[in-house]
Structure 1
Amino acid sequence: MSGLIALLDDVAAIAKVAASSVDDVVAQATKASAKAAGAVIDDAAVSPKYVSGFKADRELPIIWRITKGSLKNKLLYLLPAGLALSAFAPWAIAPLLMLGGAYLCFEGAEKVANVLGWGHGHEDYPHKEETIENPAALEEEKAQGAIKTDFILSAEIMTISLAAIPVSNFWMEAATLATVAVMITVAVYGSVALIVKMDDIGLAMANKGRLSPTRAVGRGLVHGMPGFLRLLTGVGTAAMLWVGGSIIIHGLEEIGVAGPAHVIHDIAYAIGHAMPESFVGFTEWLSKAAIDGVLGLGLGLLFIPLGEKIVTPIWRRVFSK
């Protein structure tokens, strides 16, 4: 009997260690996911356009296909690549992060420029006027295009998350990155599915609701979704510029150029401590985020000619078929 009790004690101890490890993985994954907020929000803002124009009964199957492609991008390609970087070339993480930050700045600034009428964005795509009559072929094209776009955003998310994970053993990093991949994919495409079906839900409530308040809420959903999507796009753009700018500033600090980070910190500190004590922390954070966003916008505007004249044509040439 004493041996059985000892065995049960050992099992309980192992279970506690395992539970603690799971808690650590989830906690680290949550923190790492938060660091990738800009790319995540932009992913959620961009994705609904890929089901635009399809019949309602095809929207969720397309989103599910994109979701599976996103998980494949993250788990089969980007996760092993990230672990290999961490193990064999940790020095490359900061430059890759800065490259991802530059891309976020470029994308965000390009959207701002398009709104202001300063650029054409991707409207000059040589095949954009081509129409595909076969619905199945069009669905295939849209899904593949979404998965390719997701690969870029997923690469940023996984790289940012990798840099945010505390130094630990291989298996902890692997478990944390895998958890990040699943958490973010479920959150993004679950939100996208809800967004694209929200107008259908609202329409059903407006037409079939038994109570007047139910019908009123349904009409509100139908009329409010276009504005909500515009708001989501605006928030995504602002988040991209903020995160992209902060990544580049932090990357410069990592490679020994700490001047910009110190200047931004001092300005944010001065602004924050000019406010009442209860608002100091929030004001300091908001000031730093605003400065990072403005710098991200400025850098992005400088990157637009490079992206539109060199990077985008090369990308299209490689992946157009």
Structure 2
Amino acid sequence: MASGLAALLDDVAAIAKMAAASLDDVTAAAGKAGSKAIGVVVDDAAVTPGYAMGFTPERELPIVWKIAKGSLRNKFLFLLPGALLLSAFAPWAVTPILMLGGAYLCFEATEKIIEAIARVTGKVDKTPHVEELALSSAEMEAHKISGAIRTDLILSGEIMAIALATVADRPFAIQAAALVVVSFFITVAVYGVVGLIVKMDDVGVHLAQRSSAATASFGRGLVKSMPHLLKTLSFVGTAAMLWVGGGIIVHGLEHFHLNALPHFIHHLSELAGHTPALGGVASWLTFAAGSAVVGLIIGGVIVALVHMVSKGKH
């Protein structure tokens, strides 16, 4: 009886060790996958606050919450099953899908840059469209949320594809668990940051009304800094789209042994890496800049093609 109990305890201990090892594998795989997708995460966090701005303060967090729920729905109902099916039945398709998504990010970023230049030069009408003016507050909110969730679907798809490519050599169960962890924690992180950003001006107003002169001054500074912060986030988001999209395409070309352009960018990155005291940073910045240039060129070509097709239809 005692020996049977001892054997049972040994089995339980062995199972516990296996579970702990599997958990370590999942954690390591999820961490690696999440770090590879950080550029898209930055873009997601930078783009989303714009969808919640312009509404009354009491509606801002509910809007962010609705977008976050839509993001979780995108990931767990559509993207996660799709990613696992790809891993099981068509792993060869992951890189082409990544490259298509990267090209879309380049297109979006380039179009934003062109629109920004058009606004600065006065070549675009800055007044709201008649259709937008005709919408009620509730309809405008639903319209913004729907647009944010569509954008999230693209960005989340890129995150999932990058994460899948990172853990493609791991067992299927580890892949599935890692993607679940990445999906959940990235969503919490992104929309937690977004919620903080959209409420920052309200926090500033609250602090500005305090009796302490230092606290009130800090609050007023916070309110005044918000427009600059949002502009900075827009710039960072656009830059992230270019370097992430271009980087995905560069890595995809390497995957298909089209090495001339990737080798050139890597060579420049290695040369920059020899900079005293700034080796690693200079190397990364050079690769990111090279990827962004590739992204801008590809995005420009796609924008031109889209405009040609659009003009052909009219």
Q: Tell me, yes or no, whether TM beats 0.5.
A: yes
Amino acid at match of 1:43: D
- Deviation digits for residues 206-235 of structure 1 (CA, Å, limit 9, x no counterpart): 11x242222222112111111111111111
Q: 1:165 to 1:128 in 2, by over 3 A?
A: farther
Unaligned runs of 5+ residues in structure 1 are 315-321
Deviation at 1:308, TM superposition (A): 4.4
Mean CA deviation greater in 133-142 or 186-195 = 133-142
What is the alpha-carbon distance in structure 1 between the residues aligned to residue 3 and residue 307 of structure 2? Answer: 74
Mean Cα displacement is larger for which, 65-74 or 292-301? 292-301
Aligned residue identity for 2:165? A
Taking structure 1 as the reference length, the TM-score comes to: 0.87
Deviation of 1:198 after TM superposition, in Å, equals 0.7
| Structure-1 separation of matches of 2:92 and 2:168 | 15
**Contact 2:47–2:233 (8 Å) recurs in 1:** no
Partners of 1:35 and 1:265 in 2: CA distance: 17
Q: Return the alpha-carbon distance in structure 2 between the equivalents of residues 162 and 76 of structure 1.
A: 16
- The 3 A distance-change label for structure 1 pair 138 and 265 is closer
Determine the structure 2 residue equivalent to 1:243. Answer: 244
Query: Does the 8 Å contact 1:37/1:243 carry over to 2?
Result: no
Q: Structure 1 residues 7 and 238, CA, compared in 2 at 3 Å: closer, same or farther?
A: same
Residues 113, 119 of structure 1: 8 Å contact kept: no
Distance 1:23-1:292 versus aligned 2 partners, 3 A rule:
same
1:18-57 equivalences under 5 Å are 18-57=19-58
TM-score between the two structures when normalised by the length of structure 2: 0.89
Cα distance in 2 for residues equivalent to 1:245 and 1:138 = 33
User: What is the root-mean-square deviation of aligned Cα atoms in Å?
Assistant: 2.6
Q: Secondary structure at the match of 1:54?
A: coil
Q: Where do residues 99-248 of structure 1 align in structure 2 (5 Å cutoff)?
A: 99-117=100-118, 128-130=129-131, 131-207=133-209, 209-248=210-249
Distance 1:3 1:308, change over 3 A: farther
Which letter does structure 2 place at the counterpart of 1:111?
K
Q: SS state of the match for residue 168, structure 1?
A: coil
| Contact 1:43-1:188 at 8 Å conserved across structures | yes
% of aligned pairs identical? 53
1:20 & 1:97 partners in 2: Cα distance? 30
Matching of residues 257-296 of structure 1 within 5 Å: 257-273=258-274, 275-276=275-276, 278-296=277-295
C-alpha displacement of 1:33: 2.0
Using the alignment, how far apart are the partners of 1:213 and 1:12 within structure 2?
58
SS of the aligned residue for 1:256 comes to coil
- Partner residue in 2 for 1:15: 16
Structure 1 pair 214–16 and aligned structure 2 pair: CA distance change class (3 A): farther
Cα distance, 1:100 vs structure 2:
0.9
Cα displacement (A) at 1:6? 4.3
Contact 1:35/1:164 (8 A) holds in 2: yes
Distance 1:149 1:284, change over 3 A: closer
**CA shift for structure 1 position 258:** 1.6
Find the residue that maps to 2:47 and give its secondary structure. helix
Aligned length: 307
1:114 Cα deviation from its structure 2 partner: 2.3
- Matched letter for residue 33 of structure 1: G
Partner of 1:64: 65
Rounded to whole Å, the distance in 2 between the matches of 1:195 and 1:9 is 52
**Residue 159 and residue 307 in structure 1: after superposition, are their counterparts in 2 closer, same or farther (change >3 A)?**
farther
Contact 1:37 1:239 in 2 (8 A): no
Relative to structure 1, is the Cα distance of residues 89 and 62 closer, same or farther in structure 2, using a 3 angstrom cutoff? same
**Cα shift readout 1:93-133 (whole Å, capped 9, x = no counterpart):** 1111111111111112222222222999xx89xx9421345
Segments of 5+ residues of structure 2 without an aligned counterpart are none
Give the distance between the partners of 1:305 and 1:293, measured in 2 at CA.
18
Q: Deviations over 1:218-263 (max 9, x none)?
A: 1121111111111111111111111111111110111121221112
Please say if residues 87 and 168 of structure 2, whose CA atoms lie closer than 8 Å, have aligned partners that are also in contact.
Answer: no
Contact 1:110–1:119 (CA<8 Å) still a contact in 2?
no
* Cα distance in 2 between the residues matched to 1:51 and 1:215: 26
User: 2:240 is paired with a residue of what secondary structure?
Assistant: helix
